[in-house]
Amino acid sequence: MNDIVSRFLEVLDSEENAYWSFCAFMSKVSLTFSEEGLRQKIDLEEQLLKKLDPELHAHVTKIDVDRLTFCHRWLLLGFQREFRHQEALRLFEILSSNHLEMNSFEAEKTRCLERLSCIQQKGGDACIQLSPIKTNFTFELFVCAAILLEHKDTLLKCCNEMDLILFTSSLQNKLSLNPILEKAEELFFNYCTGTVLECFRKYYLKPQKRMSGMFLLKNVLLEKTLTF
44 domain-assigned? yes
Distance of CA 19 to the CA centre of its chain: 30
pLDDT per residue over 164-198, tens digit each?
989 998 999 999 999 999 999 999 888 877 654 55
Identify which of 11, 77, 203 has the alpha carbon closest to the alpha carbon of residue 226.
203
Q: Does residue 109 form part of some domain?
A: yes
Question: Range of 213's domain?
Answer: 34-227
**CATH number of the domain residue 119 falls in:** 1.10.472
Number of folded domains that form the chain? 1
Question: Could you list the pLDDT tens digit for every one of the 228 residues in the chain?
Answer: 888 888 999 888 889 999 999 998 888 888 888 888 888 889 999 999 999 999 999 999 888 767 788 888 898 888 989 999 999 999 998 888 877 666 555 555 555 555 555 544 444 444 545 555 566 788 899 999 999 999 999 999 999 988 998 999 899 999 999 999 999 999 988 887 765 455 445 444 444 443 444 443 444 444 444 444
The per-residue DSSP string of 24-62 comes to HHHHHHGGGGSHHHHHHHHHHHHHHHHHH-HHHHHHHHH
Q: What integer pLDDT is reported at residue 61 of this predicted model? A: 86
In a domain, 11, yes or no: no
What is the radius of gyration, based on Cα positions, of the chain? Answer: 21
| Domain annotation covers residue 166 | yes
Backbone angles phi, psi at 84, to 5 degrees: -60, 160
Provide the whole-model pTM.
Answer: 0.72
Within-domain flag for 134: yes
Does 19 map to a domain? no
Residue 49 domain-assigned?
yes
Answer yes or no: is 206 within a domain. Answer: yes
